[in-house]
Amino acid sequence: SGPGVFNCAWALAGYMAQKIPVQIFQVGIAGVFRESGLGPGDVAVADEIQYLHTGVRRPGKLPGPLPFALISDHPDTCFGRYSCDERLATTCLRTLQKKRQDLTNERFQVVQGKILTVSQITGEIAQKMDIPGKKPPVMEAMEGAAAAHGAALYGIPLVEIRAGSNMTGDRDKSRWNIPLAAGRISWVLDCLMDMDHIWE
């Protein structure tokens, strides 16, 4: 779809104007939060997506909740929070973890956790602020919440899956490993294509 929430929303809306999908897989690379214990090349399957820039601005803090939900029957959207489809996410997680065990010559983790959607890459200051929500995030990317919002409006099951390309924090592109993350996402997609039961 291209980087960012606007590209993602536009691409998804354009597709859905022609055909409504049965389910949505939002996949790509991401920044990794050090506190998660993960690193570049590790894979995260989201159980929750949170758009960090939704809310009421507060001096010295990240936004508080909006006084209204963005989607009336999804109250957590006042925090910018969206739940991934539990069945789909669990199936993807278990399949990827099982496939991971078959790769005896590679070392990486496949975990589940919250993935943030951001329009600005976070730095050290943002990491030290209180990110709202019931659970700490494991990764951040730039598109997930846009896809999740569209999926919620249409009642379409969605899951976000990311591979870490770099650690969040002060920007140092020399330490990024995009080829590693892209290769891992290719592996994820190969695994998903083998999951015949999720396409039924």
Greater pLDDT, 19 or 1:
19
Q: What confidence category does residue 133 fall into, taking pLDDT thresholds of 50, 70 and 90?
A: low
152 CB contacts (<8 Å, ≥6 apart)? 71, 74, 77, 82, 158
Mean pLDDT (whole number) for 88-97: 96
Mean pLDDT (whole number) for 45-50: 96
Q: What confidence category does residue 126 fall into, taking pLDDT thresholds of 50, 70 and 90?
A: very low
Residue 178: inside a domain, yes or no? Answer: no
According to the model, what pLDDT value does residue 134 have?
Answer: 58
How far is it, in rounded angstroms, from Cα 13 to Cα 7?
Answer: 10
Residue 200: inside a domain, yes or no? Answer: no
How far is it, in rounded angstroms, from Cα 131 to Cα 81?
Answer: 12
**Among residues 96, 142, 122, which one has the least CA distance to residue 34?**
122
**Among residues 120, 129, 119, which one has the least CA distance to residue 60?**
129
Could you read off the pLDDT of 154-171 as tens digits, one per residue? 999 999 999 999 998 777
Tell me the range of 48-62, 91-105, 140-154 where mean pLDDT is highest.
140-154
Distances (CA, A) of 153 to 16, 52, 77, 181: 12, 19, 11, 30
The domain that holds 103 is classified in CATH as: 3.40.50.1580
According to the model, what pLDDT value does residue 128 have?
Answer: 45
Residue 173: inside a domain, yes or no? Answer: no
Residue 174: inside a domain, yes or no? Answer: no
SS3 of residue 95 by DSSP: helix
Mean pLDDT (whole number) for 188-200: 80
**Among residues 49, 45, 76, which one has the least CA distance to residue 163?**
45
Place of tokens 């999951």: 195
Residue 121: inside a domain, yes or no? Answer: yes
Q: How many domains does the chain have?
A: 1
Output the average pLDDT for the chain.
89
Residue 50: inside a domain, yes or no? Answer: yes
Greater pLDDT, 121 or 31:
31
Q: Which domain holds residue 70?
A: 5-168+183-195
Residue 177: inside a domain, yes or no? Answer: no
Q: What confidence category does residue 200 fall into, taking pLDDT thresholds of 50, 70 and 90?
A: low
Q: What confidence category does residue 95 fall into, taking pLDDT thresholds of 50, 70 and 90?
A: very high
How far is it, in rounded angstroms, from Cα 14 to Cα 10?
Answer: 6
